Amino acid sequence: MSPRVCPSCGARYSYELERCTFCDTELVDTESESGVVLAVTEVSVPSVGHEDTPYWCALLETNDGGTLIVKLGRSVLVGQHVTVGVPDEAERIVVGVLGTGLMGKGLVELLLSCGYDVVWVARSQASMDTAREKLTERLSRVMDEGELLERYRRLNAGIDMSALRRCDLVIEAIVEELEAKKSWLRTAEKAMRSDAVLATNTSGLPLDELACVLERPERFGCLHFFNPATRMRLVEVSVPDTTSAATLERLEAFSRALGKVPVTVSSRPAFVVNRVLMPLINEAVRSLEEKAAPAEQIDEAIRLGLNHPMGPLELADLIGIDVIVDIMDNLVSRTQDANYAPRPMLRQMVEQGHLGRKTRRGFYDYSAPRA
């Protein structure tokens, strides 16, 4: 936010005010695009909103004679020239998103909130229309009409893959099926510029099998976001052997620019989080099958005993039972370890269409509003 000054009396304000308190004149923006460091402190104590330490707070004298406090991810020296207000990555690159499922919608919401230009491609116009409606509902919870319009000017949504030509980075977030992903990734790559990076949001399909269908495997990797993408801070970054170091670096930097924390993991089945989570959910289901306790109590035991914010069964409902069964089946086939096999109750729930929150029924009943 650049300071505003009164063209009549020279009073200076740091807020987005319209008029001068002294002479009621209309204020004008000042340009403060760079500054000299007057003082800098390395902050070692985290706080809500600034969880990652250390970071640096610098007091800058701007080129228009004002002062400004900025947060930096690196140390600077007093007297050093620091450029501020430079368009960050969000203003420089265009990001593509493939898919209108839970994660596709979440990613578009996240990207638009961060100020990115987004190209969103769906399989059908009908699914895009539904997804856009849902997106508007979500964004309008935190934005007014004007802001919403401004964001939508940055969104190009449709079913035409050729729009991906504008993108510097494309994230594929379609259904978690190997053949479907292969085909979409291949089509997307053909539409993309040769300098652009392609990422899949798979939670555990073999990356080398996906990479081998591509013409530029060195520009391909995995960004595994967690649901809800706007709130979960982790991104598991993983790349097959064919990926270049520069691509890995870009994927990590992009995650950080979104305010996320990238953790780079080897491209083993289900990476780290789901590899640990799936057996936990499976054992919780086994406990339910064996009538150890009702679902509510199993969840409560895990919440309190392991200090998890959600129990495994309510989490399974949130993720989707069908998604969980897919991941577990994948784990079995890729590790040849039958211990990962989904419990019979999970399969039965899929057969009955009780897929969790999205079908309003899973381990819990979501059909009635909760008291």
With respect to other proteins, which residue has the nearer C-beta, 2 or 242?
2
With respect to other proteins, which residue has the nearer C-beta, 147 or 160?
147
In whole angstroms, give the CA distance from residue 364 to residue 7: 62
Active-site option among 32, 176, 189, 224: 224
In whole angstroms, give the CA distance from residue 281 to residue 315: 8
Output the CA–CA distances (angstroms, integers) from residue 132 to 126, 201, 319, 362, in the order listed.
Answer: 10, 20, 21, 26
| Minimum gap (Å) between residue 36 Cβ and other proteins | 13
- Contact present, 268 and 240 (Cβ < 8 Å): no
DSSP per residue, 52-106? S--EEEEEEEETTS-EEEEEESS---TT-EEE-S---HHHH-EEEEE--SHHHHH
| Burial (Cβ within 10 Å: 0-12, 13-18, ≥19) of residue 9 | exposed
- Residue 57 as a binder of other proteins (CB under 8 A): the answer is yes
| Burial (Cβ within 10 Å: 0-12, 13-18, ≥19) of residue 306 | exposed
Sign of CA dihedral 283, 284, 289, 291: positive
Active-site option among 201, 238, 267, 274: 274
With respect to other proteins, which residue has the nearer C-beta, 69 or 338?
69
209 is catalytic: no
In whole angstroms, give the CA distance from residue 1 to residue 308: 38
Contact segment (CB under 8 A) with other proteins among 50-58, 155-163, 219-227, 261-269 equals 50-58
Q: How many residues bind other proteins (CB under 8 A)?
A: 28
- Residue 46 as a binder of other proteins (CB under 8 A): the answer is yes
Taking Cα atoms as reference points, which of 116, 121, 128 lies closest to residue 89?
116
| Minimum gap (Å) between residue 12 Cβ and other proteins | 8
224 is catalytic: yes
- Residue 39 as a binder of other proteins (CB under 8 A): the answer is yes
- Contact present, 302 and 308 (Cβ < 8 Å): yes
- Residue 339 as a binder of other proteins (CB under 8 A): the answer is no
- Residue 338 as a binder of other proteins (CB under 8 A): the answer is no
- Residue 78 as a binder of other proteins (CB under 8 A): the answer is yes
In whole angstroms, give the CA distance from residue 308 to residue 21: 51
- Residue 14 as a binder of other proteins (CB under 8 A): the answer is yes
- Residue 33 as a binder of other proteins (CB under 8 A): the answer is no
Contact segment (CB under 8 A) with other proteins among 54-62, 190-198, 317-325, 332-340 equals 54-62
- Residue 55 as a binder of other proteins (CB under 8 A): the answer is yes
| Minimum gap (Å) between residue 17 Cβ and other proteins | 12
- Contact present, 25 and 6 (Cβ < 8 Å): yes
| Minimum gap (Å) between residue 308 Cβ and other proteins | 17
Q: Which residues of this protein are in contact with other proteins, per CB under 8 A? A: 1, 12, 14-15, 38-51, 55, 57, 59, 66-71, 78
Active-site residues, by number, are 203, 224, 236, 274
